[in-house]
Chains A and B, each alone.
Chain A
Amino acid sequence: DIVMTQSPDSLAVSLGERATINCKSSQSVLYSSNNKNYLAWYQQKPGQPPKLLIYWASTRESGVPDRFSGSGSGTDFTLTISSLQAEDVAVYYCQQYYSTRALTFGGGTKVEIK
């Protein structure tokens, strides 16, 4: 199975500052035939199901604020929150869907306000 490793496990950022979360896959999730990275990012707040933020590594889901952006390719990916808002406090997960017989998630990164 493809192992997804996120870093850091948690981070505290001041309101209005940038938050950066990293995700590394144990093998490439870039499908050469369509040049797409099969990588998604989710936000989960306490007591709620996950919410899809980003798919294809960098495409924002409809309704997601543009302060959220995804980047990277192959095995290394980043989720950036450009200006942290109070409502962004949550746990963020990356996920690969390259291997459709074994989807895998990263361990999660908890984002808090400093």
Chain B
Amino acid sequence: EVQLVESGGGLVQPGGSLKLSCAASGFTFSGSAMHWVRQASGKGLEWVGRIRSKANSYATAYAASVKGRFTISRDDSKNTAYLQMNSLKTEDTAVYYCTRPDMDVWGKGTTVTVSS
């Protein structure tokens, strides 16, 4: 069974940092790109960014709203993708999901709250 499990969310002050993890199982993680999508409470879905596979040079791309502050990485030996979030703002408060390129499987999400 294909499964994605996000973790690492929590409460952080504005300007702080947090690192989210996405543990994958049930498919060939190393050959797959991975995406992060977020959703503020009561709002719509916002694509955050993605990282491609080693075969595609681990190329990353980010939404304009997070570029320069967020970094996506991966550890294929651990079947895990990461989202490093720096210089956090209150508007980054959201549920963060990871998903595959086809977006056919999603994790349950992890909640990030940025507040003083």
Interface, chain A (partner B; CB < 8 A): 1, 40, 42, 44, 49-52, 55, 61, 93, 95, 100-108
Partner of A49, one of B35, B61, B64, B107: B107
Report Cα–Cα, A61/B102, bound state, in Å.
Answer: 10
Across the interface, which residues of A come within 8 angstroms of B11, CB to CB?
A: none
- In the complex, residue of chain B having the shortest beta-carbon distance to the beta carbon of A104: B47
Are the C-beta atoms of A49 and B106 separated by less than 8 Å?
Answer: yes
25 sample A-B contacts, Cβ–Cβ < 8 Å, listed by A number: A1-B64, A40-B103, A42-B45, A49-B97, A49-B106, A49-B107, A50-B97, A52-B102, A52-B103, A52-B104, A93-B44, A93-B45, A95-B45, A95-B103, A100-B50, A100-B61, A101-B61, A102-B61, A102-B63, A102-B64, A103-B35, A105-B44, A105-B47, A107-B44, A108-B44
Are the C-beta atoms of A61 and B64 separated by less than 8 Å?
Answer: no
Work out how many contacts link A and B, with CB atoms closer than 8 A.
44
- In the complex, residue of chain B having the shortest beta-carbon distance to the beta carbon of A106: B44
CB distance from B41 to the nearest CB of A (A): 11
Are the C-beta atoms of A49 and B108 separated by less than 8 Å?
Answer: yes
Q: Knowing that A52-B103, A95-B45, A95-B103 are A-B contacts, what are 18 other residue pairs whose CB atoms are under 8 Å apart, sorted by A's residue number?
A: A1-B64, A49-B97, A49-B106, A50-B103, A50-B106, A51-B106, A52-B102, A61-B104, A93-B45, A100-B61, A101-B61, A102-B61, A103-B47, A103-B50, A104-B47, A105-B45, A105-B47, A108-B44
Are the C-beta atoms of A55 and B106 separated by less than 8 Å?
Answer: no
CB distance from A73 to the nearest CB of B (A): 20
Are the C-beta atoms of A50 and B45 separated by less than 8 Å?
Answer: yes
Across the interface, which residues of A come within 8 angstroms of B64, CB to CB?
A: 1, 102
- State the interface size on chain B (CB cutoff 8 A): 18
Known contacts A1-B64, A100-B61: A105-B106 contact under CB 8 Å? no
Across the interface, which residues of B come within 8 angstroms of A42, CB to CB?
A: 45, 103
- In the complex, residue of chain A having the shortest beta-carbon distance to the beta carbon of B106: A49
Across the interface, which residues of B come within 8 angstroms of A51, CB to CB?
A: 106
Across the interface, which residues of A come within 8 angstroms of B61, CB to CB?
A: 100-102
Across the interface, which residues of A come within 8 angstroms of B44, CB to CB?
A: 93, 105-108
